[in-house]
C-alpha cells in the first residue's frame, strides 16, 4: 500500500511537469513583441461595444481580452490573491465601497493619465492615481408610480419617512453583507443618521416590516412591484438610472418611466467605479494606453447605454434616454472612502444583528 | 500453473497503474489548490494559526449555522426520498408511452440556475403568483394567503425540486434490474405486501437507496443558491457563510476554517456510510429489464402511476411550465418576441452572447465533463469495488470530498495554485470541465458502485472457467449490467456541467460564455426586455438539456439502454 502511494506521488509530479501542454486554444497566447495581448480583469457586469474594442486593437496593434471573475467583490479578491503572478494587466471594477481594501492590498501601479484633466476632482479619490475613476452612478430608492397613484399615498420624501406606519411592509432592501447596492444604502444611512443614529433607524425599519434580499436581482425582479418587477412592494433600493433603463428596455413601448427616484438630501450614494494597472502587468505600456482609452470621450460616451451609469469624463455627451429619464441627485451622502473602510465591517455586523437576528 | 509471461505481468502492472489516474487528478486539481488556500489563510506567516478554528467552536453564531445546515439537509433528504421513491418504483416497473421524455423532464431542474428557479417559484407561489391570485379570487381574500418566500418551506421545496431526480434515477435504475423472483417467492410463501416490502424489497434496494440519499444529503448540506435567493438572508448554511466571509468580508481565515469543518463533516458522513455499506453488501442476481418491466394493464397500476408520479410532476412540472409561460408572455399576449430578441445585438455589446454560441459552449464543456467524469468515475468505482484493497473505507470518503467542499474556497485555491509555471491553467478553458468533473464524477462512482458490489462473482468465475478472456468476461458479463449505471452517471455529469455547478461560477474565465452565464447577465440589469430574455434563454437551456438527455438515453448496447 505504501508503494502504491509513493508511485501515485511520482506520477503526479510527472503529470504536473507535462501539464502545460494541456492548456487549450483559449489559453492566453504567449505574447510576442509584435502581437501583445492586453488582458482586462473585471466583474460580470462589465460591458462595452465591439467596435470600440476593434478601434483600440487597430490603434495599438494589440489583441484585447476580457477576463470575468464573478461579482465585484469576488473579482477584486481574486486580483488580490493573484498579486504575485497577476492574471491580467488592468483591473476594472473597484468601487468606492471596496476602495480601501484595494489600496491596502497594494496591487495597483500609479499612473497620471493625461485624461484625468477632463475628470472632475470630486471623482478623483486617490491622490497617487493608482485607481482612476471611469464611471459613477447613484444608489437610491425607486418607487412604483402606479402603486402610489392608485392608493392616493404620498411618496416618502425623507429616509426617516420610511419608518412611518403608512409605509409599513412596502420597502425591500438588499443585504449589505452580500450585495453592493445593499452596502451602498447602509453606508448612506450611516452618513445620513450618523454613527449613533443609523441603527435606531434600521431597528424601526425592521419593526415596519422591511424585506431583505441577498441580491439586487431578487429585490428588483422578485419583490419590487414597479416596472419590470414581479413582486408586491412599491419601494426598492436600486439605482437612479433604473427608471431610464425601464424606458430603454421597453423598446419604445413606454413613453414615461413607470418608476421614479426618491432623492432626499444626503439620501443617495454615489458609487464610483475605478480602473487600475496591476503591479507586475506583462504589458504596462499597453495598459496605460488602455486606461487613457477608457477615460477618453469615445469610450466614455458608450458607457451610459452599456452599463447604465454616468461617464466620469465631463466632455462626454449623454444619450437622450439619460437626459430625459435619469436624474442626478443634487446632494448624495457625504462620506470618504477612508471612513467607509474604517467602518464597513463594523456596520455590516451591527446591521446584521439589528435587522436579521 | 505455468509461469506468467512478461507481457502478462506488464499488462497487470498497467491495469494497476490505471487506478492511479483518479488519485492523480484529485491530487492536482483538488488537494493541491485546497492546500494552497488553506496555507495562505491559516498559516500566512509560515506557522499554523488555529485561532479561527477555535473561534468557530466557541462562537454560538457558527454553531447555530452548523446545526441549521445539518438539520435542513436531513429533512430535505427525507422529503426527497418520500417524493422520489414512488416515481422510482413506477419508472422501474412499468413501460408506458412518453416514459423517457418524462424521465428526462424530472432531471431538468438539476440544470437550472437558482435565480431562474426563484423566478419560477415567484411566478407560481409568490405574492402575485398563480396560486395566490387563484386563492384570492376563490376565497375573496384581500391579501395573498400563502407567503412561502424566505421561509424554511421554500428551501425544503426547492431541495426536493432539485434533487428528486437523483432518487428517481439511481434507485429507479437499480430497482429495474432486481430479480423479482425473490419478492414473488415471498408472496407465494404467504408474506403480505408490507412484509415483502420491508423484509425483501427494501433490504435488496438498500445499497442504491443509501447511495442516492447520500448524494442528496451532501447536495443539501452544501446548498448555496437556494438558501441565498429563496431562503433569504435569515438563513445561512456553512457554504453561504463561507461565501460571505470569503467574498464580502475577505476574512480568509474564518472562511478556511469553515471549509475545513464542512469537509470534516462530509468525511465523517461518508465514512459512516462506507462502513454501513461494507457490512450489508450482498451479491445480487441482476436481471435484464425486459423481464422485470411490464406495460400497465389494469386500472390499479394506472391509478398507482397517477398517484406516484402525480406529486412529483406537480412539484417539478408546474414551476417549469410557469417559466415557459413567462418567457412567452408579452404585453400583447403570447409571442416569441423575447426569443427573437435573443438573436439581436441591439447595443452591439461584447456582452451580447449569440444563443448558438452559448449553446455550443455549454455543450462542448458538458461533453468534455461527461468524458472526464466517466474516465475518472469508472476507474474510481472499480478501484473501490476491489475487495482486496482494504483501504476503500478511507479512499471512498476521499473520493466524495469534492462534493462537500466549498466552491468559493476551491475557486480561490485554483487562483493560488494553478497559476505558477509549469501549471498555469487559471485562465485556460480546460479548467472549466476539469472543475465540473470534480462535482460530476462522484455521481458516476455512486451510481456504479452498488451495481459493481452486487455483481455476482460466480458469473465472472463461470465465464473464466468456460474459457473467456478477461476482456471478453468484462464485455459480456460486466458491461451489460454495469452499462446502465454508467449511463446514469453520464446523465448527471452532463447536467452538472450544463447547470454550471460548483467552482466555475466563481473562477476567472476568458470569454466562453455558457447558457447559465448568459442568463445571469440578462438578470443583472433592469427592464422588461432583460427579464424576458433571461427566461427565454432559460427555456432554451431546458430544451437543449431535454434533447441531450433523450440522446444519452437513446444510447443502446445489447441489453443496455433503457435505464
Predicted confidence (pLDDT) per residue in B185-201, tens digit: 888 888 888 888 888 88
Contacts of A228 in chain B (CB under 8 A): 526-528, 530-531
What's the whole-number average pLDDT of chain B?
Answer: 83
CB-CB contact of B429 with B510 (8 Å): yes
Chain A residue whose CA is closest to B527: A246
Across the A/B interface, how many CB contacts are shorter than 8 Å?
224
pLDDT of res. B352:
62
Residues A230, B123: C-beta atoms closer than 8 Å: yes
What is the distance, to the nearest Å, from the Cα of residue B335 to the centroid of all Cα atoms in its chain? 34
Mean pLDDT of B265-279: 81
Q: Do A19 and B422 touch (CB under 8 A)?
A: yes
Whose cell is 395573498? That residue is B144
Strands (E), B2-100: 94-95
pLDDT value, residue B346: 61
User: What pLDDT score was predicted for residue B285?
Assistant: 67
B498 exposure class (CB count in 10 Å sphere: 0-12, 13-18, 19+): buried
Average pLDDT (B206-230) is: 88
Single out the residue of A227, A230, A235 nearest to residue A253, CA to CA: A227
Kindly state the average pLDDT of the residues B69-77.
96
Q: Which chain B residues are within 8 Å of A51, Cβ to Cβ?
A: 348
Q: Exposed, middle or buried by CB within 10 Å (0-12, 13-18, 19+), for A192? A: buried
For B390-455, the DSSP string reads TTHHHHHHHHHGGGGS-HHHHHHHHHHHTTSTT---TT-TTHHHHHHHHHHHHHHHHHHHHHHHHB
pLDDT per position as a tens digit, A71-101: 788 889 889 988 888 989 999 999 888 898 8
pLDDT per residue as tens digits for the range B519-557: 877 887 777 888 888 888 889 888 988 888 888 777 655
Q: How many CA atoms lie within 13 A of A284 on its CB side?
A: 8
Task: Judge whether A253 is closer than 8 Å to chain B, CB to CB.
Answer: yes
Interface test with A, best of B141, B379, B526 (most A CBs within 10 A): B526
pLDDT above 60: residue A30: no
DSSP string computed for B254-293: HHHHHHHHHHHHHHHHHHHHHHHHHHH---B----HHHH-
Q: Do B249 and A7 touch (CB under 8 A)?
A: no
Quick check: A165 contacting B, CB < 8 Å?
no
Place of cell 467542499: B405
Q: Tens of pLDDT along B113-153?
A: 887 888 888 888 887 788 888 888 888 888 888 888 888 99
Torsion of CA A94, A96, A100, A103, to 10 degrees: 40
Q: What domains can you pick out in chain A, each with its CATH number?
A: 35-136+271-324 (3.40.190.10), 138-270+328-356 (3.40.190.10)
Q: What is the pTM of this model?
A: 0.83
Which of the residue ranges A18-22, A289-293, B220-224 would you say has the lowest mean pLDDT?
A: A18-22
A246-260, A324-338, B209-223, B475-489 — which is least confidently predicted? B475-489
Could you tell me whether strands A132-144 and A259-262 are parallel, antiparallel, or unpaired per DSSP bridges?
antiparallel
Where does residue A9 rank: exposed (0-12), middle (13-18), buried (19+ CB within 10 A)?
Answer: middle
Reported as a single tens digit per residue, the pLDDT across A338-357 is 899 899 989 998 998 899 87
For testing contact with chain B, the best of A26, A42, A102 (most B CBs within 10 A): A26
Nearest CA-CA distance, residue B481 and chain A, Å: 30
Asked whether residue B259 carries a pLDDT value surpassing 70, the answer given is: yes
Interchain CB distance below 8 Å, A245 and B144: no
When pLDDT is cut at 50, 70 and 90, the band that residue B506 belongs to is low
pLDDT the model gives residue B563: 34
CA distance A125 to A339: 13
Q: Which of B158-167, B230-239, B385-394 has the highest mean pLDDT?
A: B158-167
B-contacting residues in A 93-112 (Cβ below 8 Å) = 101
Rounded to whole angstroms, how far apart are CA atoms B206 and A49?
Answer: 57
Q: Which of A70, A85, A253 sits opposite B419 (nearest CB)?
A: A85
Interchain pair B427, A248: CB under 8 A: no
Q: Within an 8 Å CB–CB cutoff, is residue A222 touching chain B? A: yes
Quote the Cα angle for B73-B78-B83, to 5°.
125
Q: Do A16 and B423 touch (CB under 8 A)?
A: yes
Q: Alpha carbon B368 to chain centroid distance?
A: 17
Tell me how far apart the 2 most distant CA atoms of chain B are, in Å.
89
Bond preceding residue B422 cis, omega within 30 of 0:
yes
Q: What confidence score (pLDDT) does residue A297 get? A: 94
- C-alpha dihedral, B227 to B232 to B238 to B240, nearest 10°: 90
Confirm or reject contact between A55 and chain B (CB < 8 A): no
Residues of chain A neighbouring B330 (CB-CB closer than 8 A): none
Minimal-distance CA residue of chain A relative to B25: A12
- CA-to-CA distance for A203 and A129, rounded, in angstroms? 40
ipTM, 2 dp: 0.78
pLDDT at A339: 92
Contact A47 B530 (CB under 8 A): no
Q: A108 is written with which cell numbers?
A: 495597483
Tell me what pLDDT residue B375 has: 94
Of A77, A228, A253, the CB nearest to B526: A228
**Residue B205 pLDDT greater than 90, yes or no:** no
- What does the alpha-carbon distance between residue A94 and residue A276 come to, in Å, rounded to a whole number? 9
B271 or A277, greater pLDDT: A277
**Which residues from chain A sit within 8 angstroms of residue B408, using beta carbons?**
74
Provide the 8-state DSSP code for A319: P
Which residue shows C-alpha cell 447604465? A308
Residue of A40, A100, A98 lying closest to A74 (CA atoms)? A98
CB contact under 8 A, A12 and B28: yes
Dmax (CA) of chain A: 81
pLDDT at A148 over 70: yes
DSSP class of A317: P
Nearest-by-Cβ selection for B510 from A9, A67, A80: A67
Residues of A in contact with B530 (CB under 8 A): 228, 249
What domains does chain B contain, in order, with CATH numbers? Answer: 19-554 (1.10.3720.10)
Grid cell, residue A223, equals 419583490
Q: With an 8 Å Cβ cutoff, is A242 touching chain B?
A: yes
Lookup: cell for A121: 476632482
How many helices (H) and strands (E) chain A has is answered by: 13, 11
Helix or strand run (H / E) with residue A140: strand A132-144
Rounded CA-CA distance B109/B418 in Å is: 32
Find out whether B65 and B234 touch, Cβ atoms under 8 Å: no
Most confident of A139-148, B283-292, B397-406: A139-148
Decide if B233 and A19 are in contact by the 8 Å CB cutoff: no
Percent of chain A with pLDDT over 70: 90
Backbone angles phi, psi at A200, to 5 degrees: -60, -40
> What does chain A come to in residues?
357
- Contact (CB<8Å) A78/B415: yes
CA distance A52 to B323: 36
A71 touches chain B (CB under 8 A): yes
Amino acid at each position: 500500500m505504501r508503494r502504491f502511494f509513493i508511485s501515485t506521488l511520482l506520477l503526479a509530479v510527472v503529470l504536473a511537469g507535462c501539464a502545460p501542454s494541456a492548456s487549450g486554444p483559449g489559453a492566453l497566447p504567449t505574447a510576442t513583441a509584435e502581437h501583445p495581448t492586453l488582458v482586462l480583469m473585471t466583474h460580470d457586469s462589465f460591458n462595452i461595444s465591439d467596435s470600440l474594442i476593434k478601434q483600440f486593437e487597430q490603434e495599438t496593434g494589440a489583441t484585447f481580452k476580457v477576463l470575468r471573475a464573478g461579482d465585484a467583490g469576488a473579482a477584486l479578491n481574486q486580483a488580490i490573491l493573484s498579486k504575485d503572478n497577476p492574471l491580467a494587466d488592468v483591473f476594472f471594477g473597484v468601487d468606492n465601497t471596496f476602495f480601501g481594501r484595494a489600496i491596502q492590498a497594494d496591487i495597483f501601479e500609479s499612473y497620471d493619465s493625461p485624461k484625468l484633466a477632463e475628470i472632475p476632482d470630486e471623482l478623483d479619490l486617490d491622490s497617487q492615481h493608482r485607481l482612476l475613476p471611469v464611471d459613477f452612478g447613484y444608489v437610491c430608492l425607486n418607487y412604483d408610480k402606479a402603486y402610489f397613484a392608485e392608493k392616493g399615498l404620498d411618496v416618502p420624501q425623507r429616509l426617516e419617512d420610511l419608518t412611518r406606519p403608512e409605509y409599513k411592509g412596502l420597502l425591500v432592501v438588499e443585504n449589505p453583507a452580500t450585495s453592493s447596492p445593499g452596502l451602498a444604502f447602509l453606508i448612506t444611512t450611516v452618513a445620513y443618521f450618523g454613527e449613533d443614529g443609523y441603527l435606531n433607524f434600521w431597528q424601526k425599519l425592521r419593526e415596519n416590516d422591511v424585506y431583505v434580499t441577498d441580491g439586487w436581482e431578487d429585490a428588483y425582479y422578485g419583490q419590487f412591484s414597479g416596472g419590470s418587477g414581479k413582486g408586491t412592494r412599491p419601494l426598492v433600493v436600486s439605482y437612479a438610472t433604473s427608471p431610464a433603463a425601464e424606458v430603454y428596455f421597453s423598446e419604445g413601448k413606454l413613453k414615461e418611466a413607470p418608476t421614479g427616484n426618491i432623492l432626499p438630501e444626503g439620501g443617495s450614494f454615489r458609487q464610483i467605479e475605478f480602473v487600475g494597472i496591476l503591479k507586475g502587468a506583462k504589458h504596462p505600456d499597453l495598459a496605460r494606453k488602455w486606461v487613457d482609452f477608457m477615460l477618453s470621450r469615445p469610450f466614455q460616451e458608450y458607457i451610459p447605454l452599456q452599463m447604465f451609469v454616468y461617464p466620469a469624463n465631463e466632455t462626454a455627451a449623454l444619450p437622450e434616454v439619460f437626459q430625459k429619464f435619469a436624474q442626478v441627485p443634487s446632494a448624495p451622502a457625504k462620506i470618504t472612502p477612508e471612513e467607509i473602510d474604517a467602518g464597513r465591517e463594523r456596520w455590516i455586523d451591527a446591521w446584521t444583528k439589528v435587522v436579521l437576528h | 500453473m505455468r509461469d506468467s509471461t512478461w507481457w502478462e505481468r506488464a499488462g497487470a502492472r498497467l491495469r494497476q497503474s490505471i487506478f492511479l489516474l483518479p488519485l492523480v487528478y484529485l491530487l492536482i486539481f483538488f488537494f493541491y489548490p485546497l492546500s494552497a488556500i488553506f496555507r495562505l489563510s491559516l498559516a500566512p506567516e509560515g506557522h499554523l494559526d488555529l485561532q479561527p478554528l477555535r473561534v468557530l467552536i466557541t462562537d454560538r453564531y457558527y454553531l447555530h449555522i452548523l446545526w441549521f445546515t445539518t438539520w435542513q439537509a436531513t429533512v430535505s433528504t427525507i422529503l426527497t426520498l418520500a417524493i422520489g421513491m414512488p416515481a422510482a418504483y413506477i419508472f422501474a416497473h412499468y413501460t408506458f408511452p412518453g416514459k423517457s421524455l418524462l424521465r428526462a423532464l424530472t432531471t431538468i431542474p438539476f440544470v437550472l440556475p437558482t435565480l431562474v428557479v426563484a423566478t419560477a417559484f415567484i411566478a407560481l407561489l409568490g405574492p402575485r403568483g398563480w396560486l395566490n391570485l387563484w386563492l384570492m379570487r376563490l376565497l375573496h381574500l384581500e391579501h395573498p394567503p400563502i407567503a412561502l418566500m424566505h421561509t424554511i418551506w421554500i428551501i425544503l421545496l426547492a431541495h426536493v425540486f432539485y434533487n428528486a431526480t437523483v432518487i428517481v434515477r439511481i434507485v429507479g435504475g437499480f430497482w429495474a434490474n432486481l430479480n423479482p423472483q425473490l419478492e414473488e417467492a415471498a408472496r407465494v410463501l404467504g408474506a403480505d405486501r408490507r412484509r415483502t416490502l420491508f423484509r425483501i424489497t427494501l433490504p435488496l434496494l438498500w445499497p442504491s437507496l443509501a447511495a442516492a440519499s447520500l448524494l442528496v444529503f451532501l447536495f443539501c448540506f452544501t446548498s448555496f443558491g437556494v438558501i441565498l435567493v429563496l431562503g433569504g438572508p435569515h438563513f445561512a448554511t456553512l457554504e453561504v457563510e463561507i461565501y460571505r466571509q470569503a467574498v464580502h468580508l475577505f476574512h480568509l481565515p474564518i472562511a478556511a476554517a469553515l471549509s475545513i469543518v464542512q469537509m470534516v463533516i462530509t468525511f465523517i458522513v461518508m465514512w459512516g456510510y462506507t462502513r454501513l455499506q461494507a457490512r450489508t453488501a450482498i451479491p445480487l442476481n441482476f436481471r435484464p429489464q425486459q423481464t422485470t418491466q411490464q406495460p400497465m394493464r389494469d386500472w390499479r397500476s394506472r391509478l398507482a402511476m397517477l398517484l406516484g408520479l402525480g406529486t412529483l410532476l406537480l412539484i417539478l412540472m408546474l414551476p417549469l411550465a410557469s417559466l415557459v409561460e413567462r418567457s412567452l408572455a408579452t404585453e400583447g399576449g403570447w409571442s416569441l418576441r423575447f426569443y427573437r430578441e435573443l438573436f439581436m445585438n441591439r447595443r452591439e455589446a461584447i456582452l451580447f452572447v449569440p444563443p448558438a454560441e452559448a449553446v455550443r459552449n455549454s455543450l462542448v464543456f458538458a461533453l468534455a465533463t461527461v468524458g472526464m467524469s466517466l474516465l475518472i468515475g469508472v476507474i474510481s468505482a472499480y478501484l473501490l469495488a476491489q475487495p482486496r484493497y482494504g483501504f476503500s473505507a478511507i479512499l471512498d470518503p476521499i473520493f466524495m470530498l469534492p462534493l462537500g467542499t466549498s466552491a468559493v474556497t476551491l475557486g480561490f485555491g485554483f487562483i493560488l495554485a494553478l497559476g505558477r509555471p509549469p501549471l498555469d491553467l487559471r485562465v485556460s478553458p480546460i479548467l472549466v470541465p476539469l472543475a465540473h468533473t470534480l462535482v460530476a464524477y462522484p455521481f458516476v462512482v455512486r451510481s456504479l458502485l452498488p451495481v459493481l458490489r452486487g455483481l455476482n462473482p460466480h458469473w465472472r468465475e463461470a465465464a473464466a472457467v468456460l474459457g473467456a478472456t478477461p476482456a471478453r468476461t468484462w464485455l459480456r458479463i460486466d458491461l451489460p449490467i454495469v452499462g446502465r449505471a454508467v449511463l446514469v452517471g453520464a446523465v448527471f455529469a452532463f447536467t452538472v456541467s450544463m447547470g454550471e455547478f460548483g467552482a466555475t461560477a466563481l473562477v476567472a474565465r476568458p470569454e466562453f460564455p455558457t447558457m447559465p452565464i448568459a442568463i445571469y447577465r440578462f438578470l443583472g440589469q433592469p427592464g422588461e426586455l432583460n427579464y424576458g430574455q433571461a427566461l427565454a434563454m432559460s427555456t432554451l437551456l431546458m430544451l437543449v438539456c431535454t434533447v441531450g438527455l433523450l440522446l444519452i438515453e437513446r444510447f443502446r448496447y445489447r441489453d443496455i439502454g433503457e435505464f
